[in-house]
Amino acid sequence: MPTHRISAPLPAFDPAQGEVVMLPEAPEAGYWTGCPGVLYEPERGRWLMTYRRRRPRGHPDGERGWRCAVAVSEDGVDFTDVWSVESRQLGTDSMERFSLLPTPGGYQLYLCYVDPADSRWRIDVVDAAAPDAFDLAGARPALTAAGTGTEGVKDPYTLRHGPVTYLFASYAAAGIAAADADRAHATADVFNTGVTTHPTGLALSLDGGATFAWQGEAMPTGSGWDAYQTRLNSAVPLGPGAGWLGFYDGIASHEQNYEENCGLAVSYDLRTWHRLSTEGPWAAVPYGTGSVRYVDAVVAEGTWHLYFEAARPDGAHELRLARVPVG
């Protein structure tokens, strides 16, 4: 390991002062708008973002993660949908975070949802020439529970570095009793059951995302506030030889599921991550559950753009943006 220290040019920020980008459908618990995945395209003068809308369990018009979309903006604040999918179109109980990746021929969209065949979370990928042209009839598996030897994979974050496509995913670790697994998957949400932990795993592709090789654990769960889940959400290069700064979600138990907080980690090679937030979260809001999750960080035009999902005093979640000058 290199012996020099990493200095992250990111001053502390107050997530409560962030700008509201998208509101929830209703000001009540269980209504969330978030899971942002962001691309900045300076050559086109635009921002692209994937996001999700969620409703409470039991909602008559579709519950949990019922709608995901791709949206476009010229200023990074006001977004307009150009493509969307609803859970009924996939026959799924829920969808969560998507990830958009540019390719030489256009874009790849990585989508995660509960597989209707076995009630385990999975990740698919579909290609298109433009961000409004995805046809799910052409989607193919990227990662599945069976293919990774896990109890489910979800919440992809993708990046391309040199010839390699990196696919980070939260996964439900295997090794639980069959009866516990059956009960957990009967809920169509093993991540919310407490029967296993949820580290971040890594898959690699050398053929532009046509196939992925599962590498296993890249960032383990911690021993304190992030002992149940450690989910890497984004990574920002810090400069030549300085490694990468990662933003991850953590919780101590399944009772905090859906209300995670953000921590920081570093990596020199994108394959192994070392947490910096060992004593507690890096960011939280001072109301509600305090949740600040799914932080997707982009450095553009000398400014950190931190997109995230945040809890509100009324129990709902909204999508926000904090802009912090590079310090």
The pLDDT tens digits for 159-185 are 999 999 999 999 999 988 888 888 878
DSSP calls for 187-249: TT-GGGSSSS-B-EEEEEESSTTSS-EEEEEEE---SSTTSSEEEEEEEEE-STTT-EEEEEE
Q: Is residue 87 part of a domain?
A: yes
Phi-psi region of 178 (alpha: psi -120 to 50; beta: other; left: phi over 0): alpha
Q: Is residue 295 part of a domain?
A: yes
Residue 233: name the closest of 146, 289, 309 by CA. Answer: 309
Q: Is residue 269 part of a domain?
A: yes
Can you give the pLDDT at residue 4? 41
Can you give the pLDDT at residue 10? 73
Residue 271: name the closest of 174, 159, 191 by CA. Answer: 159
Residue 110: name the closest of 35, 59, 161 by CA. Answer: 35
Can you give the pLDDT at residue 280? 95
Count how many domains the chain has: 1
Q: Is residue 2 part of a domain?
A: no
Q: Is residue 1 part of a domain?
A: no
Residues of the chain with pLDDT under 50: 1-8
CATH number (domain holding residue 203): 2.115.10.20
Q: Is residue 65 part of a domain?
A: yes
Q: pLDDT tens digit string along 226-283?
A: 999 999 999 999 888 789 999 999 999 999 999 999 999 999 999 999 999 999 999 9
Q: Is residue 28 part of a domain?
A: yes
Number of other CB atoms surrounding residue 73 within 10 Å: 16
Domain extent for 43: 15-325
Q: Is residue 274 part of a domain?
A: yes
Give the end-to-end CA distance of the chain in Å, rounded to a whole number: 26
Can you give the pLDDT at residue 9? 61
| Rounded Cα distance, 136 and 128, in Å | 10
Residue 145: name the closest of 123, 167, 168, 178 by CA. Answer: 123
Can you give the pLDDT at residue 3? 36
Can you give the pLDDT at residue 184? 77
Residue 326: name the closest of 300, 295, 302 by CA. Answer: 302
